[in-house]
Chain A
Amino acid sequence: MIPAAFDYARATSVDEVLAALAADDGTQLIAGGHSLLPILKFRLADPSRLLDIAHLDALRGVHHKGGAARIGATTTYRELLDSAALRKSHPLIAEATSHIGDVQVRNRGTIGGGLAHADPASDMPAVMLALDASFTLQSKGGERAVPAREFFTGPFDTAMKSNELLTAIDVPALAKGSGSAYVSFDQAASGYALVGAAAVVALKGGKVTRADLAFTGLSENPFLTAGAKDLVGSDGGEAACSKVASACISGVEANDDIHASAAYRTHLAVVAARRALTTAVARSA
C-alpha cells in the first residue's frame, strides 16, 4: 500500500487552487483524503502533486439564511453533525451523515470531497437529490451553480469540469409541514449502502404536497425517482407509501455483486423506499 511518488502542497487561497486546476498540470486536490488515499495506495491513480484544500476557511462551515443552508465544501461530516442549526433546518443531512464511515472518517471526510468523488453507493448524493440541493462550481473563469439533480452523471463521474472546484452546497429551505428520512441497508464490510433511500415529503391539511425520493447504491448512479410524485395528493398513509415504493423502482437495473444480487437489491429498495416515505410522513406531523 505504497503510493507512487507525488509532491504535496497546502493551498493558501481559493485562487491558488483555481489556478492550479486551470494549469491542468497533474495536480489533484485533496481534502479529507478518505477516498483519494486508498486510490493512490492501490496505484489506481498517480497524480504528480496533491494540493491540500482541507484547511481553507473560505470553503468551510455551515451558514443559514432563513431556512436555507449553505455548506462549505470542505466542511467535515463531524462539523455537519455538530451543527445544531443544520439538524434543525435539514435533519435529513445529520441522519444520513451518521451512517457515513466511522468516527475517524467523519472527523476527516468532507461533504464536498464525498460528493465530488461521486461513489455510486455513498449516502450523501441521495440526500442532496431528495433535498434538491445546488452545487456551486468555481473556475478561474467564473462560477456556476449546478443542481444536484444534474450533477451525478455516472459512477464516480459528475458534471464538474476538470478546471472546476466545488465550493459550496446550497440546500433550500423546507416548507412548514415537511418531514424527511434516510433508510439504508449497509454492506457489512465497507459500510456503504447496498441500498439507501432518502425521502423528503410535505403535508398540508392531511394531503401530501411534496414527495421527493432518491436512491443510492441501487444502480450505477444515485438517482431521484420520478414515481415519488404520485404520492402528492394522497394522505401519505402506509398503503399509499407502499404503492409508490413498489412502483418507483420499475425499470431500474439494479447492481449485482458478491454482496447482494440484483433481485435482493431491488427488493431492499422497495423496503427502504416504503420505510423512508412512511417515516418522513410520520415526522412531518
Chain B
Amino acid sequence: MATLFGSGIRRREDPRLITGAATYTDDVKLHGMLYAAVLRSTYAHARLKKVDARAAKKAPGVVAVYTGADIQDKVNPVPCAWNVPDCDLKTPPHPLLAVDRVRYAGDGIAMVVADSRAAARDGMDLIDVDYEPSDVVVDPEKATQKGAPQLHDEVPSNIAFTWKVAGGDTGKAFKEAEAKVSLRIRQNRLLPTAIEPRAAVASYNKATGALTLWATSQNPHIHRFLCSVMLNIPEHHIRVISPEVGGGFGSKIPVYADEALVSYASIDLGKPVKWTEDRSENYKATIHGRDHVEFVELCGKKDGTVTGLRTKVYAALGAYASTAGPGVPTILHGLMYSGAYTIPNIDGTVYGVYTNTTPVDAYRGAGRPEATYLLERLMDRYAAEIGMDPVEVRRKNLIPADAFPYTVATGITYDSGNYQAALDKALGMLDYKAFRKEQAAARKKGRYLGVGVTTYTEICGLGPSQVAGAVGFGGGLYDSAIVRVYPTGVVRVYIGGKPHGQGEETTFAQIVADEFGLPVENVEVVAGDTESTPQGWGTYGSRTTAVCGSAVKVAAQRVKEKAKKVAAHLLEANEDDLEWKDEKFVVRGSPDQAKTFGDVAVMANVAWNLPEGVEPGLEATAFFDPSNFVYPFGTHICTVEVDTETGVVDILRYIAVDDCGPQINPMIVEGQVHGGVIQGVGEAMQEVAVYDEDGQLLTGTMMDYAVPKASQMPELEVAHTTTPTDVNPLGVKGVGETGTIASVPTVVNAVCDALAPLGVTHIDKPLTPARVWQAIQEAKGGAS
C-alpha cells in the first residue's frame, strides 16, 4: 500500500506563496472601504492632559477620529485570557485607546479613519496631544524595587503575580549539596518580526447585525470570542477570517485593541475599515518576547548527580497583561524546570512585572526557551565546577529511557522518550572526542574553539482541556476537524487550527489521502474561517499536528467506518469480511469483489442504495482532546571558533538531532527545525530589543534590530530519532519550537566553552562581538 505518511512531498501551499498569488489580510479590498491609522504615544509613561482631534477631523479625506474618551463607554478593555490561578494575578484594564494615562511608547491614543491610507496618516499628525510625562521603568527587576514608578494604582510594586512551583525539598538539597553554582541571567527581549505585519479589515452589515473581521490571527476562533467580549456583539454574529498569515511566531495569538477598533469604526460608520501596521508600528505595538531577569542556582554531588534547582525570576509583562501573557513565564516556563533530567528538588518563584514597555507574550517557544536556557547554562557551569565533562554530567542526569511515563518534580508527566539515543547520535555526528582533541590542540596555538551540547525536552501539543481549565487558560485546548467527502470522491478537510507557514495543508492531506487511498491532490485542507471551520483553538504551542492532526485522523477514520458499511452493503458481504487492501475495500479471499473509496463516495452521496439505518452523505466531525501534552526531545550541538581579538564568533558546525515521533513529512519537519534553530541562533547571537531609560525603543527599526539574515547563519546538520507518543493516534509530537528551545543555550554554551581558558564563565546573550570582547576584557581584568 502506498503511504503518504512519512513522505517528504513538496508543500502544496508554496506555489501561491512564492508567486505572490496568496491573499493576505492587507490584500482584502472592499467596496467603499476606509483606512485607519492609530496614533500612538510617543511617551512611555505620561498623563494625557489633552487629546484634541478637531483639526484632524477637518483634514482632507478624514472621515472620523476616535479618542479614548469617545469610545470608553461603548467598548470593553482588551481582555487577558490566561488568568493563572493561585498567584494573586492582577490584570488592570487595558483600554482600547488610552483615556487619561499612557503606559508605554506605542500605547494607542486615537484612531483616524480616512478615505485613503495616506490621508489617515496625514490626519494623525494633526492631533494635538498634551502629555504630562511620568517617571519610567523598563527593567522588570528594578520595577519591583522600592521607589520604582508605579504603572497601575491597583498593582503595588508593579508585581502582577507571584507564582511558585515546588517539588521535593530544595532547601535540604542545597544544604546537603557537595557543589553548587549560580548565575544571574538576562533573557533578552525579542521582537517577533513576522514578515507580514498585523492587519485587520472589518465590515459590519447593519441589516443583519453581522460583523466580518479579516485579521492576521493564529487562532480565529479565539479572536471571534475575545472580539465579542470587547465589542458586546454576540459571538454568532462575528465571522473571523484569517486568510494567509505571513508568520506569527506567537505574535498573532493575542487579540489587540486595533482589531476591535476597526470593528467599532465599521459599525459606527457603516463602511468597511482597514488598518495595516507598518514595521515601525509593528515593533512598538505588537507583542514582544522573553525579557526576564533571572537568579538561578543548581546543586548536586561531586559525581555529577544534580539534586536541586532554585530560581527567582522577574518576568516582564510589559505595560498590560496581554492575552496569554501571564501563562508564558509560569505554566509554560516553570513547569519545565526539570528539563530532560531527574532533578528531584525544584523550587521556582516567578514574579510577573509590569514595566513601561510593549506587552510581552508568547514568542516561539514561549517560556520553554527561557527554562531550557537557564537549566542548560547551569548544567555547563556545574560541570565546570566539579571538573567533569558537560556531556557526562548530562548523561548522568538524563531520565532513563525505561522510566517513561515519567513524572518530574514540578508535577508534570512526560509521555515518552529516549534521550540517550538522541545524545549518542548527535555526539557521533560530531565525533565529540575528536573535537575535544582538536580544541586542545588549537588552544595551544592560541585559537579558541568551543562546543556546546544541549539535551532538551519541551512541553507542547497543548493540550488536555481539563488541564487548560485548571491552569486558568480561558479556553479549551482540544481541536477539531470536519472531513467532508464530495460525490466525486474528492475531499475537503475543515480544521480548527490555523496553520500559517507550518505546512499542515500538506501534512493533513497526507493523513487523509492515506486513510482513503486517494492521491493527495484529491484532498484539500481549509483553515482560518470561523464560518466554515469547527470550533478550534488555533495554531501555537506546537499543537496543530499533534492535536488538530489527530482530530483529522479520527474524523477520517469515522468516514472510513461508514464507507466500509456502505461498501459491504454494495458488495453484499458481511462488514467483518471486508479488508482494506491495495487502497480498496476487498472481500477477504475474493480480490475481484472490491470497492474503491470513490465508488463508495458516490453512493453515499447520492444515497440510491444504502444499508438500512445509514444516513446519506459522507462526512464526519471529530473533536480531539489529548490525554496529555507531548514532550519532543533531542540533542543539539554547536561548535564555534571565537576571534578573541575582536569578539567575533564563527559557528563552525550546528547539529540538531530531534525526536518528534513519526514524521508525517520529513521535509517539512526539517524546515521547521531549520526555522526554529535560526530563530534561536538569532536570539543567542544578535537579537535584542533595547529601551533607553525613558522607555524609548532604540531598536525600533530593522536598521537596529538584527533579524537573522541568511548570510549570517550557519549551515545546519539535521537528523532525528523516532520515539512515538501514545497520547494521540498519530504518535506524533510537535516540532515547531524545538529548534528555538534547544539552540539558544547550545550556541551560548559553545562560546562560553571556547572562552573558558580565559576565565570567562558567562556572557549574557545576544553574543554580539561587542559583548564577547567586553567579557574577555573583564575576564582579563583589563580596562573596558
Contact = CB atoms under 8 A, between A and B. Distances in A.
B774 A271 contact: no
B392 to A, nearest CB: 35
B707 A4 contact: no
A156 interface: no
B280 A261 contact: no
Nearest to B690: A258
B121 interface: yes
Given A188-B686, A189-B702, A190-B704, A268 B646 contact: yes
B784 A263 contact: yes
A258 B645 CA distance: 20
A186 to B, nearest CB: 9
Contact of A1 (B278, B648, B773): B278
Nearest to B698: A258
Interface in B648-706: 648, 685-686, 690, 698-699, 702-706
Most B Cβ at <10 Å: residue of A42, A102, A188: A188
Interface string A182-200: 0001011110101000000
Contact of A185 (B648, B698, B703): B648
B118 A258 contact: no
A93 B648 CA distance: 25
A264 interface: yes
Contacts of B279: 1
Nearest to B278: A1
A23 interface: no
Contacts of B726: none
B774 A264 contact: yes
A259 B768 CA distance: 8
Contacts of A268: 646
A267 B769 CA distance: 12
B117 A185 contact: no
B770 interface: yes
B704 A264 contact: no
B768 A1 contact: no
Interface in A219-266: 258-261, 263-264
Contacts of A185: 646, 648, 769
A71 B305 CA distance: 69
B117 A259 contact: no
B704 A259 contact: yes
Contacts of A261: 770, 774, 784
B579 interface: no
Interface residues of A, number: 23
Given A188-B686, A189-B707, A190-B704, A259 B712 contact: no
Contacts of B648: 185
B166 to A, nearest CB: 39
Contacts of B122: 4-5
Contacts of A271: 645-646
Interface in A160-189: 185, 187-189
Contacts, number: 57
A1 B701 CA distance: 11
Count chain B CB atoms within 10 A of each CB in A4, A259, A261 and give the residue with the most: A259
B783 interface: yes
Nearest to A260: B770
Contacts of B774: 261, 264
Nearest to A188: B706
A188 B125 CA distance: 33
A234 B631 CA distance: 65
B359 to A, nearest CB: 22
B704 A258 contact: yes
Nearest to B277: A1
Contacts of A258: 690, 698-699, 704
B121 A2 contact: yes
B278 A264 contact: no
Given A258-B690, A261-B784, A267 B773 contact: yes
A25 B324 CA distance: 53
A185 B643 CA distance: 12
A10 to B, nearest CB: 22
A258 B690 CA distance: 8
B718 to A, nearest CB: 24
Interface string B279-323: 110000000000000000000000000000000000000000000
A268 B768 CA distance: 13
A267 B647 CA distance: 11
Most-contacted residue by chain A among B280, B770, B774, B784 (CB, 10 A) = B770
Interface in B737-756: none
Nearest to A43: B125
B199 to A, nearest CB: 14
Contacts of B709: 102
A187 B769 CA distance: 10
Contacts of B703: 189-190, 192
Nearest to B766: A188
A188 B712 contact: yes
Contacts of B118: 2, 5
A110 to B, nearest CB: 20
Contacts of B646: 185, 268, 271
B540 to A, nearest CB: 27
A188 B773 contact: no
A173 to B, nearest CB: 34
A189 to B, nearest CB: 4
A192 B685 CA distance: 18
A264 B773 contact: yes
Nearest to B685: A188
A189 B769 contact: no
Contacts of A43: 125
Across the A-B interface, give the 3 residue pairs with the lowest CB-CB distance, nearest first: A188-B706, A189-B706, A1-B278
21 contacts: A1-B280, A2-B117, A4-B122, A42-B280, A43-B125, A185-B646, A185-B769, A187-B706, A188-B712, A188-B768, A190-B702, A190-B703, A258-B690, A258-B698, A260-B770, A261-B774, A263-B784, A264-B769, A264-B774, A267-B773, A271-B646
Given A189-B702, A258-B704, 7 more contacts: A188-B685, A189-B699, A190-B703, A258-B698, A259-B768, A264-B769, A271-B646
